[in-house]
């Protein structure tokens, strides 16, 4: 069965475009905060460790590694002046329950910042939003207890599941962001969902141009999470 998301916003995709002033200023702030953090205790030779903890959207399904989300995000951070290594923690087909079950393994590289991108497969399978919320709540609680900075990304339910399910599912993510006080990007596929020019033939997974747009729009939110990491110091 092919599921299509409702179109969120019309905007042409393509390569990363120049950041506007506000986003550029956040890049400078994040780089400065990171420098302070490194001088306060982390080894200057070690890049910031960013874990992209998700499903096929972060795993770069159907794309060469160089065009996938981790590689494109790492390049964007470098262009913003942030020395970082983006760890690919994406597993295609993973649900929030699967993510919770493999959390110990995913944290083995001791990331400083974690992007939590899970829930899309829960929605595609019509799983109970309450279970999705409980799984993500447990993941965020664990990350918070360990002092790791977090960027939570939201997802939208497929429209064919109806407005009642959609409202319950879509509301899970902002509620969790408020509850745990984490940085939040409302929709991982903002500007990309339902645009044939930005997606692979399956209509669900972004192509290289779609990934570039995802990275461009997500980057300012990640920089805010990095600023929080710098303010709080390394996890431990």
Cβ atoms of residues 80 and 31 within 8 Å: yes
Q: Choosing from 56, 122, 190, 195, which is the catalytic residue?
A: 56
* Beta strands per DSSP E along 31-178: 48-54, 84-90, 113-117, 149-153
Q: What is the DSSP letter of 112?
A: S
Q: Choosing from 180, 190, 205, 221, which is the catalytic residue?
A: 205
Cα distance between residue 99 and residue 70, in whole Å: 17
Q: Coil, helix or strand for 54? A: strand
Cβ atoms of residues 111 and 181 within 8 Å: no
For the question of residue 6 being annotated catalytic, the response is: no
Measured from the Cβ of residue 128, the count of other Cβ atoms closer than 10 Å reads 12
Could you tell me the end-to-end alpha-carbon distance of the chain, in angstroms, rounded to an integer?
A: 45
Cα distance between residue 117 and residue 86, in whole Å: 14
For the question of residue 67 being annotated catalytic, the response is: no
For the question of residue 221 being annotated catalytic, the response is: no
Q: Which residues contact 37 (CB under 8 A, 6 or more apart)?
A: 229, 230, 233, 234
- Please report, for residues 137, 141, 219, the alpha-carbon distance to residue 216 in angstroms, rounded to integers and kept in the order given: 27, 28, 6
CA–centroid distance for 206 within its chain: 14
Q: What is the DSSP letter of 117?
A: E
- Residues with a known catalytic role: 56, 202, 205
């Amino acid at each position: 069965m092919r599921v299509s998301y409702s179109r969120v916003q019309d905007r042409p995709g393509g390569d990363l475009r120049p950041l506007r002033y506000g986003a550029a200023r956040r890049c400078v702030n994040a780089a400065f905060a990171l420098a302070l953090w490194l001088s306060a205790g982390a080894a200057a030779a070690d890049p910031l460790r960013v874990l992209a903890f998700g499903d096929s959207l972060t795993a770069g399904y159907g794309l060469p590694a160089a065009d996938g989300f981790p590689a494109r995000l790492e390049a964007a951070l470098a262009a913003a002046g942030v020395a970082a290594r983006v760890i690919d923690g994406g597993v295609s087909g993973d649900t929030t329950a699967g993510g919770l079950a493999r959390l110990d393994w995913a944290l083995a590289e001791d990331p400083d910042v974690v992007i939590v991108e899970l829930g899309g497969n829960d929605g595609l399978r019509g799983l109970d939003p309450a279970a999705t919320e409980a799984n993500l709540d447990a993941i965020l609680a664990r990350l918070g207890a360990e002092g790791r900075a977090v960027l939570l990304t939201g997802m939208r339910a497929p429209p064919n599941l109806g407005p009642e399910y959609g409202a319950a599912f879509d509301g899970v993510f902002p509620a969790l962001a408020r509850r745990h006080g984490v940085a939040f990007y409302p929709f991982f596929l903002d500007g990309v969902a339902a645009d044939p020019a930005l997606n692979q033939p399956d209509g669900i997974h972004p192509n290289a141009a779609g990934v570039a747009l995802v990275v461009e729009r997500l980057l300012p939110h990640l920089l805010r999470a990095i600023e929080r990491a710098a303010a709080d110091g390394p996890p431990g």
